[in-house]
Structures are given as structure tokens and as C-alpha cells.
Amino acid sequence: MPNGKGGQFKTFSLIYYSAPIFLSVLISTGADYIDRFIVTFFLSLLELGIYNLSLLISTSLIFIISPITAIIFYKLPIIFGTRNIDDIKFNVSKAITVFIALYFPVAFIVSALSQSIILFISKEDYLTGYLTIMIIYVTSSLIISSDIIGISLQSGGRIYLSYLSHLRYFP
């Protein structure tokens, strides 16, 4: 298929190289929704609604870390390219600190106000969802730094796995 400049667009190559990404997105999407199918099987429709509302509130705070994640995802490969271990440790450590400093207080406040938030956006029937919100925020606050570790491992490749997998190396 000509592209107007004398070259060709290789459809087969596009499909061939996008197939692993398709599988990755399929698995990721399935992982995002499998819990709802399981909950639907074991709980009533009302309880599913409570669970979904709780998830909606819980995932709404992603806007706090999304911009930071985007910048870190762009910057860390550049830093890893220098192969300066001290610079890598410093930047990863600071990124984790910023993630925790921004996410934890907001998650704590939303957890504390979860009953009021549920009553503000829905009916009293959904009030028991505050427990799910609290569990999600407490758990995610404890593992939020894993996002930075994951980005770091993707950025640096396997050579830095030993440096990043041991927190004692961080200042």
C-alpha cells in the first residue's frame, strides 16, 4: 500500500508487532474486571453496586499520581542511560518519596471522609462501601512505591534489577 511518498505501509508488520501489545492489553483489562465477575457470582446485585461505587471512589485518586508517573516514565530511561548508579538511586528514591508524600495524606483523608463522600454522591444504601474504600486506600498506600519500582525496572532493564530490588540501596 503506497503512502504517497513512494514508500510502503507494511500492514503485516503492524499486526505482527502489535499482537503482543494486544495480548498485554487484553490481560490487563481482564485483570481489571475479573474481580467484578467474581463479586457478581458471590454477592447480590446491591452488594455489587456498593463494591463498584467503592472502586469508583477509590480509583478516582489516580489523577494525583498519573502526571508524576507520566513524567517519571519519560525521565527515568534518560537517567538510566547515564549508568550513574548514585544518580539512579537518588532519583528513584525521590520519586518514591514524592509519590508517598502526595498519595498517602489524600488517601487518609478520603478514607476518613468516605462515609460522607458516599452519602454526598449516592444513597444511604451504599454506606457500607466505606469499609471497602478504607481497605483499598490502606492497601494501596502501603504498596504505592511499587509503581515507581516497576517503572524503574522497565526503564533500566535487567541490568539494574539487583540494585532496585533491594531497598537497602536507596539513601
Query: Do residue 12 and residue 64 come from a single domain?
Result: no
Query: Do residue 24 and residue 93 come from a single domain?
Result: no
Grid cell 536507596 is found at 170
Query: Do residue 28 and residue 87 come from a single domain?
Result: no
Query: Do residue 23 and residue 69 come from a single domain?
Result: no
- Between the CA of residue 91 and those of 98, 104, 171, what are the distances in Å? 10, 20, 10
φ, ψ for residue 91, nearest 5 deg = -70, -40
Query: Do residue 66 and residue 13 come from a single domain?
Result: no
Query: Do residue 77 and residue 107 come from a single domain?
Result: yes
pLDDT > 70? residue 33: yes
Q: What is the pLDDT of residues 118-146, one digit of tens each?
A: 899 888 888 888 888 888 888 888 777 77
Indicate the number of domains in the chain: 2
The one-character DSSP state at 53 is H
Query: Do residue 32 and residue 49 come from a single domain?
Result: no
Per the structure, the complete domain to which residue 28 belongs is given by 1-42
The one-character DSSP state at 43 is S
Query: Do residue 48 and residue 97 come from a single domain?
Result: yes
Average pLDDT of span 27-32? 77
Which of 59, 56, 32, 35 shows the shortest CA–CA distance to 122? 56
Please report, as a single letter, which amino acid is at residue 30.
G
Q: What is the pLDDT of residues 81-90, one digit of tens each?
A: 777 788 878 8
Please report, as a single letter, which amino acid is at residue 118.
I
Amino acid 116: pLDDT: 92
Half-sphere exposure of 136 (CA within 13 A, CB side): 20
Amino acid 155: pLDDT: 63
Amino acid 126: pLDDT: 86
Query: Do residue 132 and residue 58 come from a single domain?
Result: yes
Task: Give percent above pLDDT 70 in the chain.
Answer: 82
Amino acid 7: pLDDT: 65
Q: Which H/E stretch holds residue 129?
A: helix 129-143
Please report, as a single letter, which amino acid is at residue 60.
S
Amino acid 95: pLDDT: 82
